[in-house]
Structure 1
């Protein structure tokens, strides 16, 4: 079977390597150089290194609780049950995790985890080390065709017939921005998230939602785009730089302008509360005091900071910040998209032949708010599961989870050429008679102001008006072959409209989706973990 994997983060690399081991013909397509995405920038680590008293069941309970009860228990079970094997596989492929004097993988503590279970490498360079090891293994596999500097434009979809009648549409390949078409029996999208929808993000420049937008244009089922995670501790000045959650797990605290710790007033776990809680509290306290909240790690000492967090230490010192002596101003920034292409626990989408893994997918493991360090784990576990499920792309369509789609609440939008969620009020939004001219910067600022950490119907409606106006202006046009910037802009505009529509449709707050004008949804309690009591 010929499989195209789009993306070279942990999810894409894992899928490609495992598919090769299973004898499939694999083509890996990367938008930039290998390792340019979010994986290499991941600092904290990968969850699932279970120590005394810990278990996959307890990890699953923490995951469901952090996700505000919106996660899929079956998908979460697959994630945590596969964690130990995924970490073992990374070690076998050459990943050098940090170890103690006895040779055991060291375990860190991060927010909303009951126990320390985060494996890390190079102190706070876990993603870079995993990326290094997987890329080295990829280069040692001559059977895998690697194409770098090639951007996905669209998915190719075929309708087919058999002796028994018509078969559901299925993906048959991809088209590239260069104009070239690549054929395949299956496509695995691992293109990451869409952080560049927002003015402030920890994501790299290439995080423009390419895979999700391509899936929208062919009618694959998309879910949970309203759930966008904002990391609470990103440098408040200059280019956004994330200060890993592991710092708070190691004892760093958040203080306001008066030097007072304030998070205990919001949540009993204080700095180790779920990310959505901490991010909103940080933003609220900064607004109340008129000054940024600061992350104070001075109690850890200069030597410990440099040894355990060398990536952060080097960057802060490069910027002239002596964080061993002074607290560091921080602010929330977009970090992770919980929604995406809806999949089952093997990465299969609603469209035959199309798989999605990693941040591109809505696998159900993150619910309404991702638990810290579950993202690398999802890529490792579900990348392998998708590769192992490639045989399900047979033309018989046996077992392929095809739903009736598009759903009744979605409709084909002519201006964008994609399926978008209908206006929750049932009436079309009238595009503004005048508004700002489209630019990527204008879109990012619009989303930051009206569809960011705090949302309201007034702000979301204004965002929808402006976005619909831009879409109307762009209707009937398509990016020219070779124009990657224009393709990214088209993807961002489409995803912005879909995200705003999803946020308007969910009128009550849940997890990372926080409405100022609506109450909170009732939370489904996480199941009691086996052996927890």
Structure 2
């Protein structure tokens, strides 16, 4: 029996209206540097980005008496507000039915390697507090009759720590946090693009003193670009990941992230080799991840060639109908590609097959009106002929309906409703999709308080490189909330900025250097345009540094990325209207981010790096060979992962002589350590807990 959910409930969880922004604060001050007169704003803390992580940082800073301001390129238009999946996940400790504890969750977060053990513990401990505070703000997480939070299993999660409000979980998070920020009086400046971090000092004395930005509201005849200066001794980078880096991407359009900003300021980045790729609808239409119940309903997946002929291509990869359907189902909680799951006819063989179909020029669809077709002359699809784990799940869910659309409607009617809102009725027509880049697991290197290598600068959310190789699905939403809070706690406790003090040594010089950098990039007569740079960067990253990565091609791709940045330095980027200047500067940042990712990947490959979460390193001498029903896939032979590399992270920074690359060991953590109240309470009372990057031993989880 299918449970009917009233339409008004579906509407409330699908069409999430965002709050109206309050009037923006004005400033009566100006600053004149290098002949440019620009408005000057003073705040104790500037948060760059208005997604869930940035708003959490702003809310928590404001609660602690910090004079904070948020800069947003497009309020409610970023990844948090516009992305999702069938039932978008928040990953938190689960004490309801699995005997979970913080130590176990921390080990699960870092299980794939390249993750600091103390960071994993911080995220685990903070998860319960974050979930409770979001519920207090009004996030409608589902509960059972006794108050327990409803849970399910997600990617890289064997316990079942996932919960969800439906497909719009992160948008609902942004909504409740935005409402709280507005209630607290946090100013949010919309249509404001940060283009340079202002830095003073040298060596170990380098520190942040503000941000140079472009603001549509500040454009005048005397200031055609709308340049504005923000004076602050604390800056929180929270503008998300580099969504524009790949052509094949499920990010919303216009998501440039914070990595280029950080690189230009000389801040250390880490784990840039680690991303997530998975199936979803293309960004040209309605970009959305096709995880969870979309594939657990087991639709028929096929491709169409240029002549309009259908191809049941998965039948070339799996040996039986049962094996094919069961692995389509497993994409629900094994959504991101993982190289090892291409072996033994696992679920990532689905991703590989789709990538190969796309490379052959065929379009790929899933049809919810048809069950999977038989493999060869094998028996037809039947709910009684599925692997045991699949049958148990569907049986518990009561999903015994005849067709995929009926099973999907029973398990998750919101999944159908969501696409209908965007003029795609999957109850009537097939859904075109592909394998896309979805998330950057690496990013700005931070400590357990969210501090970067630049004093006074923090990074939270997807901008921060805290996720390691195989983060569980939904762990990123939790991490952004945890580190948004911790960054605010730290800056409120340790910083005593005086935004009224304009006399910081070197401040005017920092603004002048930033302004010179902007002028060096923006050159109306340059042969380089936003369009040409975008095409070159995205094609190179998707074709040479995507899910399937040829080891022999990475070095050439890196050389080409370096060449592009050299041309940008010498020739600049052309632009037309003043409104286009921001995009030109953001593509300069994206070109830098591309070179940084390829620098890390080239170092990884040269060091013998093997295949793990983000991508398969294809090598004709590789030890691992995927098999298909039609035979061995020799062109997909790949390197095995080197276990030793799980214990280290690749660090990249941009300097005068180009990108610098090194490695560092994961920070270790003694989980067996115990706190003692009377001994440790003074550290909290006096603020000594904020003086270092964190303790070496854990409290009792």
Measured against the shorter chain, the TM-score band is: 0.7 to 0.9
436-445 or 453-462, larger mean C-alpha shift: 436-445
Query: Deviation at 1:307?
Result: 6.8
Query: Deviation at 1:474?
Result: 1.5
Relative to structure 1, the CA distance from residue 349 to residue 437 in structure 2 (aligned partners, 3 Å threshold; closer, same or farther) is closer
491-500 or 514-523, larger mean C-alpha shift: 514-523
Contact 1:286–1:292 under 8 Å retained in 2: no
Query: Deviation at 1:241?
Result: 2.7
Separation of aligned partners in 2, 1:437 and 1:145: 34
Relative to structure 1, the CA distance from residue 104 to residue 53 in structure 2 (aligned partners, 3 Å threshold; closer, same or farther) is closer
Residues 223-259 of structure 1, C-alpha deviation per residue, up to 9 Å, x if partnerless? 111212112x213696363234332695647867256
Relative to structure 1, the CA distance from residue 522 to residue 188 in structure 2 (aligned partners, 3 Å threshold; closer, same or farther) is same
Matched, 1:486 2:591: no
Separation of aligned partners in 2, 1:10 and 1:302: 32
Separation of aligned partners in 1, 2:670 and 2:613: 20
Residues 366-393 of structure 1, C-alpha deviation per residue, up to 9 Å, x if partnerless? 2123321111111111110111111465
Matched, 1:174 2:208: no
Contact 2:295–2:329 under 8 Å retained in 1: no
Matched, 1:154 2:196: yes
Contact 1:108–1:246 under 8 Å retained in 2: no
2:477 to 376, 395, 409: 376
Separation of aligned partners in 2, 1:326 and 1:34: 30
Correspondences of 1:23-62 after superposition (within 5 Å): 23-34=65-76, 36-43=78-85, 44-48=88-92, 50=94, 51-55=96-100, 56-62=102-108
Separation of aligned partners in 1, 2:455 and 2:554: 34
Contact 1:276–1:369 under 8 Å retained in 2: no
Matched, 1:504 2:602: yes
> SS at the partner of 2:590?
helix
Correspondences of 1:215-294 after superposition (within 5 Å): 215-231=262-278, 233-235=279-281, 239=285, 241-247=287-293, 252=298, 257=312, 260=321, 262=323, 272-273=333-334, 275-277=336-338, 280-286=348-354
Contact 1:280–1:453 under 8 Å retained in 2: no
Relative to structure 1, the CA distance from residue 146 to residue 495 in structure 2 (aligned partners, 3 Å threshold; closer, same or farther) is same
Alignment partner, residue 350 of structure 1: 453
Query: Deviation at 1:437?
Result: 8.9
Query: Deviation at 1:317?
Result: 4.0
Number of positions where the alignment pairs a residue of Structure 1 with one of Structure 2: 480
Contact 1:33–1:148 under 8 Å retained in 2: yes
Contact 2:198–2:212 under 8 Å retained in 1: yes
**Given the two structures, how large is their TM-score scaled by the length of structure 1?**
0.80
Alignment partner, residue 32 of structure 2: none
Contact 1:343–1:350 under 8 Å retained in 2: yes
Contact 1:98–1:106 under 8 Å retained in 2: yes
1:456 to 550, 557, 564: 550
104-113 or 294-303, larger mean C-alpha shift: 294-303
Alignment partner, residue 341 of structure 1: 444
Alignment partner, residue 443 of structure 1: 537
Query: Deviation at 1:445?
Result: 1.5
Separation of aligned partners in 2, 1:190 and 1:101: 37
Relative to structure 1, the CA distance from residue 254 to residue 361 in structure 2 (aligned partners, 3 Å threshold; closer, same or farther) is farther
Alignment partner, residue 160 of structure 2: 116
> SS at the partner of 2:206?
strand
**Given the two structures, how large is their TM-score scaled by the length of structure 2?**
0.62
Separation of aligned partners in 2, 1:12 and 1:126: 16
Alignment partner, residue 402 of structure 1: none
Alignment partner, residue 305 of structure 1: 408
Contact 1:293–1:329 under 8 Å retained in 2: yes
Relative to structure 1, the CA distance from residue 109 to residue 323 in structure 2 (aligned partners, 3 Å threshold; closer, same or farther) is farther
> SS at the partner of 2:618?
coil
Relative to structure 1, the CA distance from residue 194 to residue 309 in structure 2 (aligned partners, 3 Å threshold; closer, same or farther) is farther
Contact 2:54–2:238 under 8 Å retained in 1: yes
Relative to structure 1, the CA distance from residue 395 to residue 95 in structure 2 (aligned partners, 3 Å threshold; closer, same or farther) is closer
Relative to structure 1, the CA distance from residue 145 to residue 265 in structure 2 (aligned partners, 3 Å threshold; closer, same or farther) is closer
Relative to structure 1, the CA distance from residue 215 to residue 253 in structure 2 (aligned partners, 3 Å threshold; closer, same or farther) is same
334-343 or 320-329, larger mean C-alpha shift: 320-329
2:562 to 468, 490, 494: 468
Contact 1:170–1:351 under 8 Å retained in 2: yes
Separation of aligned partners in 1, 2:173 and 2:616: 34
343-352 or 54-63, larger mean C-alpha shift: 54-63
> SS at the partner of 2:200?
strand
Separation of aligned partners in 2, 1:60 and 1:495: 29
Separation of aligned partners in 1, 2:158 and 2:671: 11
Alignment partner, residue 411 of structure 1: none
Query: Deviation at 1:130?
Result: 1.2
Separation of aligned partners in 2, 1:264 and 1:304: 14
**What is the RMSD computed on CA atoms of the aligned residues?**
3.6
* Structure 2 unmatched ranges of 5 or more: 1-42, 215-225, 303-311, 316-320, 342-346, 370-398, 498-516, 519-529, 623-638, 648-668, 673-701
Separation of aligned partners in 2, 1:310 and 1:20: 39
Separation of aligned partners in 2, 1:115 and 1:528: 23
Alignment partner, residue 90 of structure 1: 134
> SS at the partner of 1:176?
strand
Relative to structure 1, the CA distance from residue 167 to residue 115 in structure 2 (aligned partners, 3 Å threshold; closer, same or farther) is closer
Query: Deviation at 1:285?
Result: 2.1
Alignment partner, residue 8 of structure 1: 50
Relative to structure 1, the CA distance from residue 319 to residue 448 in structure 2 (aligned partners, 3 Å threshold; closer, same or farther) is same
Residues 270-304 of structure 1, C-alpha deviation per residue, up to 9 Å, x if partnerless? 75336222685223223667667766767666566
Contact 2:355–2:435 under 8 Å retained in 1: no
Contact 1:155–1:171 under 8 Å retained in 2: yes
Matched, 1:361 2:464: yes
Separation of aligned partners in 2, 1:248 and 1:261: 18
> SS at the partner of 1:475?
helix
381-390 or 463-472, larger mean C-alpha shift: 463-472
Separation of aligned partners in 2, 1:513 and 1:310: 33
* Structure 1 unmatched ranges of 5 or more: 161-165, 397-415, 418-435
Query: Deviation at 1:394?
Result: 4.4
Relative to structure 1, the CA distance from residue 529 to residue 304 in structure 2 (aligned partners, 3 Å threshold; closer, same or farther) is farther
Query: Deviation at 1:323?
Result: 4.3
Contact 1:5–1:187 under 8 Å retained in 2: yes
Contact 2:441–2:465 under 8 Å retained in 1: yes
